[in-house]
Amino acid sequence: MIRIKGFSASPEKVSALNAITSKLAAKDATLWGPAAQAEAEIRLNWIDLPLTSRELLPTLDALSAWSREIGHSDFVLCGMGGSSLAPEVIAAVYRKNLTVLDSTDPEHVKAVLDRDLSQTCFVVGSKSGSTIETASQKSAAEAQLLRQGLDPKNHLVVVTDPGSPLDKESRAAGLRVINADPNVGGRFSALSAFGLTPAALIGVDVSVLIDDAFEAAQSFLLPNSTVVSVAAALAEPTFAYTGFCDAGSTLPGLSDWIEQLIAESTGKDEKGVLPIVTSSPKSEIFPVISFDEQGEFAVTGSLGEQFIFWEWVTALLGYLMKVDPFNQPNVTEAKEKTGALLDRWKGKGVQNPEPAFNTSAIAVFSDSIAHSLTDYLRSAITHPNGYIALMAYLHRGVDNEVMQLRELLEKAGKKPVTFGWGPRFLHSTGQFHKGGPKVGSFIQITGATQVQWPIHGRDYGFEVLVMAQALGDNEALAARNYPLVRFHLKERSAGIQELIAAAKEL
């Protein structure tokens, strides 16, 4: 059972939500207004997943038996956003082996693919298959399997919507395909085939997740329920920036999943609640929600309960904020700018402007002139806007020291600082950056690489794709005249150390 601590909200907001919980349970697509109705009509089946996902169990049992027969002992998930964050949490909570490939950094791709894949099962998750990151990862994985003399039919499982281009292409190739409910949006898909298929393959009893979610949801229609109390509180101005801390809890990674759910769902129409993944249950700058009774605010419960709880909270929060929680208009913008850059660079490679400042390990790209890395960082954190976004297009899991910058800048600037790994944050806080309140200051970190990893069927590799994504998003932010600086690490390890040292001087 979900338990909450510390939340309070205005009686008006609580009363407003009490009046609509039964309508949400009945999948009333009119709740978010006429402009959102068409999208909501094809996005509300997540409400039923704790019941309808039971139909998947025999299929998942058969798939797991096939995987054991093949002899898979290593599992890789290729997916972005909602297709990858929930499975990553499930694997961490149940302490199972799952490598999540949600990056286009060539060093990350090489680390996952440049090894013996004879016992590897790749799960490719995408609603349509058109997501550039996942399509590129699938292509690279297939090429590497063939290079090693392995049949992709024995090493690839595809999760996608029925009738999607990926569905048709994969079935034609003889791959195993699991269809997800097409009327569930990506970030609400934790309890759908997108979350449950990789979980079942790595040995998690997924029936526990959906049973727990079903039991939790039974209480959501009660007056002043937990979902009503938390959604009403998050709609208060004091929660405009909200910290989430799973450090030390039994739910590692849950904060990252919630970050995407809330940021991408509410960050539009110049509104939104910005989640901040933090390692401490206490902050002097913003309220922090923990999952183990630490700190002033807490939400406790099992993983299945947490999944359905936060999905309900997010939908109710969208109602109070008068935003469509199911669309993501500015994610498409970033994709389009990436595609335009890839076309512009055709046959030329990455085209960088002249840096404004150089050190031995870092090139700084900015419209302003300063005389040190510390000065550039100081300019970013002293801007009067409301929050700072750190965006690192580097090798998650290897370049992790760069994450130290988040707390250093937050302490020095005394304002909220988010950290996102590129390009995966583009499917999360990236929507909030461009569609939410115009109060952000942005710091990009990109990195040079000697690794070139081709993408089969394309005239560019991952080393070009990741830079197109970074610079495409740079263009989208610059077009809004947001404060923006990019630190390009000419040598990654040394560059990270230089940035950390500069931040400590603030």
One-letter amino acid for residue 194 of the chain: F
Residues 287 and 334 in one domain: no
Q: Which of 363, 271, 376, 336 is nearest to 479 (CA)?
A: 336
- Residue 206 contacts by C-beta under 8 Å, 6 or more apart in sequence? 53, 56, 57, 60, 196, 199, 200
CB atoms within 10 A of CB 403: 17
Tell me the torsion sign for CA atoms 254, 260, 263, 264.
negative
Residues 316 and 333 in one domain: no
Q: What angle do CA 88, 428, 85 make, to 5 degrees?
A: 10
Residues 138 and 282 in one domain: no
Residues 15 and 145 in one domain: no
The confidence score (pLDDT) of residue 333 equals 85
Would you say residue 29 lies in a domain? no
Would you say residue 216 lies in a domain? no
* CA–CA distance, 45 with 455 (Å, rounded to integer): 35
Residues 295 and 361 in one domain: no
Query: What pTM was computed for the model?
Result: 0.97
Average pLDDT, whole number, for the chain?
Answer: 96
The confidence score (pLDDT) of residue 388 equals 98
Would you say residue 351 lies in a domain? yes
Residues 317 and 337 in one domain: no
Of 147, 176, 209, which closes a domain? 209
Residues 75 and 196 in one domain: yes
Of 304, 321, 338, which closes a domain? 321
Q: What is the DSSP letter of 479?
A: T
Residue 330 has pLDDT above 90, yes or no: no
The confidence score (pLDDT) of residue 460 equals 94
Of 158, 181, 209, which closes a domain? 209
CB atoms within 10 A of CB 417: 25
The confidence score (pLDDT) of residue 129 equals 86
Query: SS3 for 259-293, per residue?
Result: HHHHHHHHCCCCCCCEEEECCCCCCCCCCEEECCC
Give the mean pLDDT of 270-286.
97
* CA–CA distance, 465 with 105 (Å, rounded to integer): 8
What confidence tens digit (pLDDT) does each residue in 396-448 have? 999 999 999 999 999 999 999 999 999 999 989 999 999 999 999 999 999 99
The confidence score (pLDDT) of residue 185 equals 93
Would you say residue 113 lies in a domain? yes
- Residue 352 contacts by C-beta under 8 Å, 6 or more apart in sequence? 365, 488
Whether residue 408 contacts residue 503, with contact meaning beta carbons closer than 8 Å, is answered with yes
Whether residue 97 contacts residue 91, with contact meaning beta carbons closer than 8 Å, is answered with yes
The confidence score (pLDDT) of residue 383 equals 81
Do strands 387-393 and 297-300 pair parallel, antiparallel, or not at all (unpaired)? unpaired
Helical ranges in 151-284 per DSSP H: 165-172, 193-201, 206-217, 226-234, 254-266
Residues 341 and 311 in one domain: no
Q: What's phi and psi for 491, nearest 5 deg?
A: -135, 120
Burial class (CB in 10 A: 0-12, 13-18, 19+), 172: exposed
What confidence tens digit (pLDDT) does each residue in 79-134 have? 998 889 999 999 999 999 999 999 999 999 999 999 999 999 999 999 988 889 99
* CA–CA distance, 418 with 201 (Å, rounded to integer): 33
Give the mean pLDDT of 247-274.
97
The confidence score (pLDDT) of residue 8 equals 94
Mapping DSSP to helix (H, G, I), strand (E, B) and coil, where does residue 432 land? Answer: helix
The confidence score (pLDDT) of residue 470 equals 97
Give the model's confidence band at 212: pLDDT under 50 very low, under 70 low, under 90 confident, else very high: very high
Tell me the torsion sign for CA atoms 227, 228, 230, 231.
positive
Residues 406 and 484 in one domain: yes
Mapping DSSP to helix (H, G, I), strand (E, B) and coil, where does residue 83 land? Answer: helix
Mapping DSSP to helix (H, G, I), strand (E, B) and coil, where does residue 394 land? Answer: coil
What confidence tens digit (pLDDT) does each residue in 468-479 have? 999 999 999 999
Q: Which residue has the tokens 């079935």?
A: 171
Give the model's confidence band at 331: pLDDT under 50 very low, under 70 low, under 90 confident, else very high: confident
What confidence tens digit (pLDDT) does each residue in 357-392 have? 999 999 999 999 999 999 999 999 998 879 999 999
Residues 195 and 254 in one domain: no
* CA–CA distance, 120 with 75 (Å, rounded to integer): 6
Q: What CATH number is attached to the domain comprising 463?
A: 3.40.50.10490
Whether residue 249 contacts residue 292, with contact meaning beta carbons closer than 8 Å, is answered with yes
Give the model's confidence band at 171: pLDDT under 50 very low, under 70 low, under 90 confident, else very high: very high
The confidence score (pLDDT) of residue 334 equals 82
Residues 369 and 246 in one domain: no
Q: How many domains does the chain have?
A: 3
DSSP β-bridge partners for residue 11: none
Would you say residue 42 lies in a domain? no
Residue 293 has pLDDT above 90, yes or no: no
Element spanning 86, H or E: helix 82-94
* CA–CA distance, 80 with 92 (Å, rounded to integer): 17
Pull the structure tokens for residue 277: 């993944």
Percent of the chain with pLDDT over 70: 100
The confidence score (pLDDT) of residue 141 equals 97
Q: Which of 276, 262, 418, 255 is nearest to 328 (CA)?
A: 262
Mapping DSSP to helix (H, G, I), strand (E, B) and coil, where does residue 427 land? Answer: helix
The confidence score (pLDDT) of residue 306 equals 98
What confidence tens digit (pLDDT) does each residue in 336-353 have? 999 999 999 998 889 989
Would you say residue 72 lies in a domain? yes
Would you say residue 362 lies in a domain? yes
Pull the structure tokens for residue 394: 């580097």
Task: For residue 335, give its domain range.
Answer: 329-504
Residues 272 and 348 in one domain: no
* CA–CA distance, 298 with 281 (Å, rounded to integer): 9
Would you say residue 88 lies in a domain? yes
Percent of the chain with pLDDT over 90: 94
Residue 63 has pLDDT above 90, yes or no: yes
Q: What length does the chain have?
A: 506
One-letter amino acid for residue 128 of the chain: S
Give the mean pLDDT of 196-214.
98
